[in-house]
Amino acid sequence: MTQTYRNWNVTRDNHDIAWLALDKADSTTNVLSAEVVSEFEDIVSNLMSATPKGVVLLSDKSSGFIAGADVKEFTQLETEDTALQVIQRAHKIFNDFENLSCPTVALIHGFCLGGGMELALACKYRVADDDPKTKLGLPEVKLGIHPGFGGSVRSIRTMGAMSAMNFMLSGRNMNSRIAKKQGLIDFAVPKRHFVNSAISIINKPPTKKPLSIVKRLASYKHVRPLLAKIISKKVAARAPRTHYPAPYALIDLWVQYYDNQNEMLEKEAQSVARLIVSRTAQNLIRVFTLQEQLKGLGSLNDYKVRHVHVIGGGVMGGDIAAWCAFSGFTVTIQDQKKEALANVVKRAYGLYKKRLKLKRLITDAMDRLIPDPKGHGLKRADVVIEAIFEDAEVKKNLFKSIEPVVKPDAVLATNTSSIPLDEINVALKEPNRLIGLHFFNPVAMMPLVEIVKSPTTDKEISTKAAAFTRKINKLPLPVTSTPGFLVNRVLMPYLMEAVVLAEEGVPLTVIDDAATDYGMPMGPIELADTVGLDICLHVAENLSKSMDIEVPVKLKEMVESGKLGKKSGHGFYTFKNGKPVKTKPNKDYTTPVDVQDRLILRMLNEVVACLRDGVIETTDQADAGIIFGTGFAPFRGGPFHYIQTRGTAQLLKMLEHLQQRYGPRFVADKGWENLD
């Protein structure tokens, strides 16, 4: 017997097993939209009135199980009350589904996230595909909320408080191997065994092992407040309570209500309703949407890449090559020095060991990364990335020499951070083939890649470059080939202002705290030390040719005296075991009132200038670029969003005031006139 819905395929087979397969209409991915939930409500109600022998919940999409709730709909929840109604309705449906008297089994492949994970948790059994691509997660905190469809209660009940809290508070995904170990799923099997596994579970429901005593102990009434303190402290290091209330709300829920799980469910709904309409959540949801927009720029589906060739195995080229091999491509890495290649392999091994863990996967990735001192890979490569010395002549010579060798349709990319493309591409017979793929250091950590175009660059090449960027799981941001592109150009005035503040004698921690209080992940002084003061100086000097930035004398002196920051052990800070030693200012020190304004306004002024100059096309792209390229306070929704929230008039007044005190570097860019 088959029932038809727009989004669900529901079948009751001859053995009285109901198969509920989600296949969301007009979409490649399953999400729990209002319509999907509404249809599920009807399905559950039918199952309640005629309960089958067992229910199997699965997805008909190849992309995965369910990627979460429909985030677009989150932005339409205007009041806490409306949000609460929506959540309470979902609670009722999930509870009814959980309370069916028959065995219920979720068959999970690909993505199983957020609301999708919560629905799977409402099943009595979870079976996941053992492929490493299976990703289970409750990433709600990243959107400024916490699980709201019963996931907080059910995950704690299923995995124990410590594992579940870590799972929810980190927002990180798990593969099925780890999920099985942590008790989140019952079985990890190859996908081809899904149907048989579900049938055998329904025919003979396996006994569930109770949580171990240690796991149960963590949720005892008197233990919870103690553990909560420790957990909160850990969370505070990443996400301060003032900026990110959701993790703390989740911890409070558990501490206060876990003894009465029905009450905890009710409180969960109220808490999420409150959080979801807050400015933090709405801004984080905006960041999520911006991320999806950037992803969309790289969606050239039929573009095939098999082989990547990287030239230059230094800091950047080596890590780019390692990352591409990590992402599944065959990579040849070429350098004129053998030692450089040995280093690349060593660093890559470290990365794979940390990220892939399993010996088989590490070996596979290492096999894909091929040292190639003679450049044999060039003629097979679909994408060639140059990351040699930052010298226009050297780069030109290289491109001239490789052009006759590479495939006619290969993408030719440079990782230059400062040389205009049109200065390099003149060496090519087909200059329109050259594109910039500007990666950030450290490559494995930084999500953004600037796709640098010059007026000469072919449209098709930039589309392919963006698509390639997605294939290595980075976010493409199209920018023009102008000095500093977007990210370095915006970052530099901010960093230089920090150095000027240090020159003026403002204690380093005061400067850094001003930025982290605003919401930056790391203060500018520590950031400069981490990037390397020589690199900062190089970029600043380069940009000072085209931009109105003065390079502080202090920076030059420090670099001349060998103080390069973290890598030399000394910079602004002294480093011990890779960590800066920070000393608090004297008790009688009074912090100047405008430290934060000076830092942030220089950044905002530059981002406005970038839009005016056409470095980026839209304010949304600028916001995305600055958030993913610099870590700019995500809960503020991006620099332009912040400008809009704060009001241009007020910020212009502040700039004027700073200009009067500190001079022309605070003159408001003309671009402000075009903002509402």
Q: Which residues are catalytic?
A: 417, 438, 450, 488
Binding range to ligand NAI, per CB under 6 A, among 9-17, 59-67, 308-316, 490-498: 308-316
Alpha carbon distances (Å) from 63 to 27, 30, 640:
10, 8, 34
For residue 152, give the nearest of 42, 35, 270 by alpha carbon: 270
| C-alpha span between 339 and 357 (Å, rounded) | 26
Q: Is 390 in the site for ligand NAI (CB under 6 A)?
A: yes
| C-alpha span between 10 and 13 (Å, rounded) | 10
Type of residue numbered 122: A
CB of 120 or CB of 491, closer to ligand NAI: 491
CB of 143 or CB of 419, closer to ligand NAI: 419
Shortest distance in whole angstroms from residue 395 CB to ligand NAI: 7
- What is the pattern of x (binds ligand NAI, CB under 6 A) and - over residues 327-346? -------xxxx--x------
Q: Is 415 in the site for ligand NAI (CB under 6 A)?
A: yes
CB of 191 or CB of 400, closer to ligand NAI: 400
| C-alpha span between 429 and 461 (Å, rounded) | 15
C-alpha angle 565-569-574 in degrees, rounded to nearest 5:
80
Interface size with ligand NAI, residues (CB under 6 A): 24
Q: What is the DSSP annotation of 200-211?
A: HHHHSPPPPPPP
Q: Is the peptide bond before 524 cis (omega within 30 degrees of 0)?
A: no
Contact between 478 and 617 under an 8 Å Cβ cutoff? The reply is yes
| C-alpha span between 457 and 377 (Å, rounded) | 24
CB of 394 or CB of 667, closer to ligand NAI: 394
Shortest distance in whole angstroms from residue 311 CB to ligand NAI: 5
C-alpha angle 46-52-54 in degrees, rounded to nearest 5:
120
Q: What is the DSSP annotation of 412-446?
A: EEE--SSS-HHHHGGGSSSGGGEEEEE--SSTTT-
CB of 83 or CB of 492, closer to ligand NAI: 492
Shortest distance in whole angstroms from residue 322 CB to ligand NAI: 12
Tell me if residue 471 falls in helix, strand or coil: helix
Shortest distance in whole angstroms from residue 500 CB to ligand NAI: 23
CB of 219 or CB of 414, closer to ligand NAI: 414
Binding range to ligand NAI, per CB under 6 A, among 6-14, 231-239, 409-417, 448-456: 409-417
- What is the pattern of x (binds ligand NAI, CB under 6 A) and - over residues 518-557? -----------------x----------------------
Binding range to ligand NAI, per CB under 6 A, among 255-263, 294-302, 415-423, 518-526: 415-423
The pair phi, psi for residue 188, each rounded to 5°, is -115, 115
Q: 573-612: which residues touch ligand NAI (CB under 6 A)? A: none
CB of 347 or CB of 612, closer to ligand NAI: 347
Shortest distance in whole angstroms from residue 390 CB to ligand NAI: 4
Binding range to ligand NAI, per CB under 6 A, among 45-53, 250-258, 306-314, 565-573: 306-314
Contact between 411 and 382 under an 8 Å Cβ cutoff? The reply is yes
Q: Is 416 in the site for ligand NAI (CB under 6 A)?
A: yes
Q: Is 314 in the site for ligand NAI (CB under 6 A)?
A: yes
CB of 313 or CB of 634, closer to ligand NAI: 313
CB of 246 or CB of 388, closer to ligand NAI: 388
Binding range to ligand NAI, per CB under 6 A, among 209-217, 389-397, 516-524, 585-593: 389-397
User: Both ends of the chain: CA-CA distance in Å?
Assistant: 59
Shortest distance in whole angstroms from residue 290 CB to ligand NAI: 22
Q: Which stretch of DSSP H or E encloses residue 449?
A: strand 448-453
| C-alpha span between 161 and 258 (Å, rounded) | 10
- Could you say which of 362, 388, 487, 508 contacts ligand NAI (CB under 6 A)? 388
Shortest distance in whole angstroms from residue 398 CB to ligand NAI: 5
| C-alpha span between 458 and 456 (Å, rounded) | 6
Give me the sign of the Cα torsion angle 413, 418, 419, 421.
positive
For residue 291, give the nearest of 637, 577, 548 by alpha carbon: 637
Residue 166 has which token pair? 């870590």
CB of 110 or CB of 571, closer to ligand NAI: 571
The pair phi, psi for residue 222, each rounded to 5°, is -85, -15
- Could you say which of 86, 159, 316, 331 contacts ligand NAI (CB under 6 A)? 316
Shortest distance in whole angstroms from residue 567 CB to ligand NAI: 11
Name the residue number minimizing CB distance to ligand NAI: 314
Cβ neighbours, 10 Å, residue 293: 15
Contact between 366 and 351 under an 8 Å Cβ cutoff? The reply is no
Q: Which stretch of DSSP H or E encloses residue 341?
A: helix 338-356
Shortest distance in whole angstroms from residue 474 CB to ligand NAI: 13
Residue 55 has which token pair? 């229910």
Three-state SS string over 22-41 comes to ECCCCCCCCCECHHHHHHHH
Q: Is 315 in the site for ligand NAI (CB under 6 A)?
A: yes
- Could you say which of 114, 160, 312, 484 contacts ligand NAI (CB under 6 A)? 312
Binding range to ligand NAI, per CB under 6 A, among 46-54, 102-110, 265-273, 310-318: 310-318
Shortest distance in whole angstroms from residue 428 CB to ligand NAI: 16
Q: Is 398 in the site for ligand NAI (CB under 6 A)?
A: yes
Q: Is 287 in the site for ligand NAI (CB under 6 A)?
A: no
φ/ψ region of 150 (left if φ > 0, alpha if ψ in -120 to 50, else beta) reads left
- Could you say which of 417, 425, 509, 621 contacts ligand NAI (CB under 6 A)? 417
Shortest distance in whole angstroms from residue 640 CB to ligand NAI: 24
Three-state SS string over 241-267 comes to CCCCCHHHHHHHHHHHHCCCHHHHHHH
Shortest distance in whole angstroms from residue 546 CB to ligand NAI: 16
Contact between 528 and 499 under an 8 Å Cβ cutoff? The reply is yes
- What is the pattern of x (binds ligand NAI, CB under 6 A) and - over residues 441-480? x---------------------------------------
Q: Is 389 in the site for ligand NAI (CB under 6 A)?
A: yes
CB of 220 or CB of 389, closer to ligand NAI: 389
C-alpha angle 482-485-489 in degrees, rounded to nearest 5:
110
CB of 34 or CB of 535, closer to ligand NAI: 535
Binding range to ligand NAI, per CB under 6 A, among 272-280, 292-300, 388-396, 498-506: 388-396
> By the criterion CB under 6 A, which residues form the site for ligand NAI?
311-317, 334-337, 340, 387-390, 394, 398, 415-417, 439, 441, 535
